[in-house]
Amino acid sequence: MRRLRVTARSFHYDVVVGQGAWRALRRLPPYSSVFVLTERKLWNRWGKAFVRQSGLTSGPPLFVPAGEQSKSLPMVEDVASRLLKQGADRRTLLVAFGGGVVGDLGGFVASTYMRGIDCVQVPTTVVAQVDSAIGGKTGVNVGTMKNLVGTFYPPRLVLADPIVLGSLGWRTFRSGLYEVVKHAILDGPGFFHLLEARIGSLRPGQGAALESILARAAQVKVEVVSRDEREAGLRRVLNLGHTFGHALEEATAYRRFLHGEAVGWGLLAVTRLAELLGVLKPAEAGQIARMVRQVGPLPPIRDLAASRVLALLPQDKKAVGGRIHWVLPQRIGKVKIVNDVPLQLAATALREVQRGPDPSVRG
Amino acid sequence: MRRLRVTARSFHYDVVVGQGAWRALRRLPPYSSVFVLTERKLWNRWGKAFVRQSGLTSGPPLFVPAGEQSKSLPMVEDVASRLLKQGADRRTLLVAFGGGVVGDLGGFVASTYMRGIDCVQVPTTVVAQVDSAIGGKTGVNVGTMKNLVGTFYPPRLVLADPIVLGSLGWRTFRSGLYEVVKHAILDGPGFFHLLEARIGSLRPGQGAALESILARAAQVKVEVVSRDEREAGLRRVLNLGHTFGHALEEATAYRRFLHGEAVGWGLLAVTRLAELLGVLKPAEAGQIARMVRQVGPLPPIRDLAASRVLALLPQDKKAVGGRIHWVLPQRIGKVKIVNDVPLQLAATALREVQRGPDPSVRG
């Protein structure tokens, strides 16, 4: 079990990764009440174990439907009403037990309920454990705009036990690995080569074998957000692969890809773009592309018109004043942010990746 | 014109009170775009002057309907959608031009739109100028619960020009004076006696005569929030008169009183309560009560069953774990927070005030 610490100017909190992480809840100070926000299926599978390990005395959990549509302001209103009805006050603790949807929604509710109550994130997917549950970004969607309304709000604790990944579907699990790959590219050769050696054999059920990989990936996020709590600059490196990724998700109305899969394609495209720009050496570009492809098959993108995908790029809200900030790998362990990439070159990179080797073929 | 400064651990901002305050907007750094959130009537009356003085180049204002019902999550969604459609990004400035409703809603939208954009508060009522626009509390209502969802989010600037009070109705104007009285009680004999001498002659149109009173009242709020940005302790003194006040508002479904009027009654009742408890000397209790009554007539409360009002006290969300924190005047310039007041005594105080001299009779 690893205990990592996010330290920012005005707050700090621990991220505990590993088997038995949930026990860390026992060391929190007392609250007037505790509520768990979660999804029914997930809670049916893991709720008992969580309650036993965490020692929590809480009322019945607050269930929200699985899926992105729960990240909405009407759902915020609904959850806040239920909290109020059940007596939650300013000293209540909200535990967000779930993947990205529950984490983003729960974090937002906690950050705004009575102007802010404590929140513990208990991420249950790979993406949430190594990325989204760490860093205090919360949000809900408005219309088709992801996270248009949200907050920066540090959780009190993040508790990531890989045991819960055992009930993930194979595709969902793999989808999270693309974010792990992203973190390895950001981190450097040490983690990258460790991951390279293991990526092909990682499986949802392997609690212990996964633990060191997940902890290391989480550490990358912890370090970045510790240095940039409000996404003023450095934190943008975490968007590696996300610029193309978001555009691909939008181009397919968020129906074709799991988020991580879009990031997988995004990593391939931006790696090729960096190579075309002469920013990244072909050898390292090849290493990155091989690693991404090793994760497994990705939904097809050949049918998508590159021009249409490109047109969706500036709608990324990370783009300030219409510019696109590209996060380009410069070498393994180093990225570079530029905002003057010719769109034509981005189109070329995307088209080459679209025509390239089918990533469903390993190695 | 007075320039006050809110200073907290992690931020500071200026509160400019006086004629010409809007000009301070000219000294802000450039934004990618500026949007004004306001009410149509108010903007029709003051919009041109505001644009001229502030030098703002902004698109058409975002109008919200006047009234409390605009403080809602559906309205947050609506405003956020309109901002997005009109191209607002992370470097947009939102100006909340209005009273408490626009200020609370606008502050909340600004604090959550793309996880936080800059907000300038331009309060246009007495309550907003001396109280609600200062301190960074934002919020919207959920069901009948006021401000159940909100944030602490410091504005970039607060610009209070008394000129806009000229278009306030006499009742709305007076309602704000109860908050001014509250601040004078908190502040001490100097401000209290100044206000005592002038309270009977204050009128909406008196820009200059009002200015020194408003600035002094705003200063009280500035000092309190500077020492307690997140309502951890000290800031609770601002609830003077609000415990009874909220209960009265709830007991009448928020239909009978303007907020300040309920606070007026609340001040009378809590002053009597402090006197009954032996916390406040009768002479000073008399001074406070006279001052409150001098503001003008209040809507009647004789018909309200004290027991019913009392039953609504614990629903005040300021009450942690069911307790009621009473802010009791101890003398002019000093309050005391206690949470063990026998409810019966609170009922007695309220009943005596209900039966007491009609506050519509001056002096």
Known catalytic residue at B115: yes
Compute φ and ψ for A148, nearest 5 degrees.
-65, -35
Distance, in Å, from the CA atom of A143 to the CA atom of B219, rounded to the nearest integer, reads 42
Known catalytic residue at A115: yes
Distance, in Å, from the CA atom of A125 to the CA atom of A123, rounded to the nearest integer, reads 6
* Residues on chain A touching B80 (C-beta within 8 angstroms): 142, 148-149
Give whichever of A51-65, A181-195, B348-362 has the largest mean pLDDT: A181-195
With beta carbons less than 8 A apart as the criterion, state whether A158 and A145 touch: no
Per-residue confidence (pLDDT) for residue A6, from 0 to 100: 95
- Quickly state the pLDDT bin for B114 (edges 50, 70, 90): very high
Residues of chain B with CATH 1.20.1090.10: 240-355
Question: Helices marked H in B228-363 — which ranges?
Answer: 242-251, 259-276, 282-295, 306-311, 343-355
Distance, in Å, from the CA atom of B171 to the CA atom of B296, rounded to the nearest integer, reads 9
* pLDDT tens-place string over residues B283-298: 999 999 999 999 999 9
Residue A236 has pLDDT above 90, yes or no: no
Half-sphere exposure of A349 (CA within 13 A, CB side): 29
User: Which member of B174, B239, B250, B293 is catalytic?
Assistant: B239
Per-residue confidence (pLDDT) for residue A109, from 0 to 100: 98
Query: SS3 for B299?
Result: coil
Compute φ and ψ for A316, nearest 5 degrees.
-60, 125
Distance from CA of B141 to the nearest CA of A (A): 9
Residues in chain B: 363
Task: Report the complex ipTM.
Answer: 0.91
* pLDDT tens-place string over residues B256-270: 999 999 999 999 999
**Residue of A131, A128, A89, A108 lying closest to A37 (CA atoms):** A108
Global pTM?
0.92
Interface of A with B (CB under 8 A): 9-10, 32, 73-74, 76-77, 80-81, 84, 89-91, 111-116, 137-139, 142-143, 145, 147-152, 230-231, 317, 319-321
Known catalytic residue at B41: no
* pLDDT tens-place string over residues A237-294: 999 999 999 999 999 998 999 999 999 999 999 999 999 999 999 999 999 999 999 9
Q: How many helices and strands, by DSSP H and E, does chain B display?
A: 12, 11
Distance from CA of A17 to the nearest CA of B (A): 27
CB pairs under 8 A between A and B: 97
Residue A225 has pLDDT above 70, yes or no: yes
Token pair, residue B23, equals 């000009």
Per-residue confidence (pLDDT) for residue A27, from 0 to 100: 93
Residues in chain A: 363
Known catalytic residue at B12: no
Task: Using the structure block, give the residue that is written with the tokens 């410069």.
Answer: A330
Largest CA-CA distance found in chain B, in angstroms, rounded: 60
Per-residue confidence (pLDDT) for residue B316, from 0 to 100: 47
B240-355 has which fold? Dehydroquinate synthase-like, alpha domain (1.20.1090)
Tell me which of A36 and B320 has the higher pLDDT.
Answer: A36
Mean pLDDT, chain A, integer? 92
Distance from CA of B34 to the nearest CA of A (A): 13
Per-residue confidence (pLDDT) for residue A141, from 0 to 100: 97
Distance from CA of B62 to the nearest CA of A (A): 17
Give B331's strand partners: B334
Residue B361 has pLDDT above 80, yes or no: no
Q: Residue A114 carries which side chain, given as an amino acid letter?
A: M
Over residues B202-231, mean pLDDT: 87
Known catalytic residue at B325: no
Cβ-in-10-Å burial (0-12, 13-18, 19+) of B79 comes to buried
Given the candidates 1.10.3080.10, 3.20.10.10, 3.40.50.720, 3.40.50.1970, the CATH classification of the domain at B2-167 is 3.40.50.1970
Tell me which of B325 and A152 has the higher pLDDT.
Answer: A152
- Quickly state the pLDDT bin for A150 (edges 50, 70, 90): very high
Residue A360 has pLDDT above 60, yes or no: no
Task: Using the structure block, give the residue that is written with the tokens 């309205």.
Answer: B75
Residue B132 has pLDDT above 90, yes or no: yes
Count other Cβ atoms within 10 Å, centred on residue A249.
23
Distance from CA of A47 to the nearest CA of B (A): 26
User: Which member of A235, A236, A281, A325 is catalytic?
Assistant: A235
DSSP secondary-structure letter at B304? S
Per-residue confidence (pLDDT) for residue A307, from 0 to 100: 92
Using the CB atoms, write b or e for A132-150: b if 16+ within 10 Å: bbbbbbbbbbbeebbbbbb
Per-residue confidence (pLDDT) for residue A321, from 0 to 100: 52
Per-residue confidence (pLDDT) for residue B362, from 0 to 100: 43
Per-residue confidence (pLDDT) for residue A209, from 0 to 100: 80
Residue A337 has pLDDT above 60, yes or no: yes
Residues of chain A with CATH 1.20.1090.10: 170-203+240-355
Give A141's strand partners: A72
- Quickly state the pLDDT bin for B322 (edges 50, 70, 90): low
Mean pLDDT, chain B, integer? 92
**Residue of A75, A226, A205 lying closest to A158 (CA atoms):** A226
Residue A318 has pLDDT above 60, yes or no: no
Residue B329 has pLDDT above 80, yes or no: yes
Interface test with A, best of B10, B34, B76, B77 (most A CBs within 10 A): B77
Per-residue confidence (pLDDT) for residue A363, from 0 to 100: 37
A170-203+240-355 has which fold? Dehydroquinate synthase-like, alpha domain (1.20.1090)
Per-residue confidence (pLDDT) for residue B66, from 0 to 100: 95
Per-residue confidence (pLDDT) for residue B94, from 0 to 100: 98
Residues of chain B with CATH 3.40.50.1970: 2-167
* pLDDT tens-place string over residues A91-132: 999 999 999 999 999 999 999 999 999 999 999 999 999 999
Per-residue confidence (pLDDT) for residue A361, from 0 to 100: 46
- Residue B140 gets the label, from left (phi > 0), alpha (psi -120 to 50) or beta, of beta
Per-residue confidence (pLDDT) for residue B59, from 0 to 100: 75
Distance, in Å, from the CA atom of A167 to the CA atom of A204, rounded to the nearest integer, reads 7
- Quickly state the pLDDT bin for B359 (edges 50, 70, 90): low
Known catalytic residue at B318: no
Give the one of B74, B114, B151 whose C-beta lies nearest to A317's C-beta: B114
Over residues B120-127, mean pLDDT: 97
Angle at A176 between CA A174 and CA A179, to 5 degrees: 125
Tell me which of A208 and A294 has the higher pLDDT.
Answer: A294
Per-residue confidence (pLDDT) for residue A91, from 0 to 100: 93
Residue A45 has pLDDT above 80, yes or no: yes
List the single range of A221-235, B55-69, B259-273 with lowest mean pLDDT. Answer: A221-235
Q: Residue B44 carries which side chain, given as an amino acid letter?
A: N
Distance, in Å, from the CA atom of A333 to the CA atom of A133, rounded to the nearest integer, reads 23
Interface of B with A (CB under 8 A): 9-10, 32, 73-74, 76-77, 80-81, 84, 89-91, 111-116, 137-139, 142-143, 145, 147-152, 230-231, 317, 319-321
Residue A52 has pLDDT above 50, yes or no: yes
Distance, in Å, from the CA atom of A56 to the CA atom of A53, rounded to the nearest integer, reads 8
Distance, in Å, from the CA atom of A283 to the CA atom of A289, rounded to the nearest integer, reads 10
B33-38 and B12-17: which strand pairing?
Answer: unpaired
Angle at A316 between CA A313 and CA A317, to 5 degrees: 155
- Residue B302 gets the label, from left (phi > 0), alpha (psi -120 to 50) or beta, of alpha
List the single range of A94-98, A221-225, B71-75 with lowest mean pLDDT. Answer: A221-225
Q: DSSP string of B31-68?
A: -SEEEEEE-HHHHHHHHHHHHHHH-----S-EE--SSG
Distance, in Å, from the CA atom of A157 to the CA atom of A95, rounded to the nearest integer, reads 10
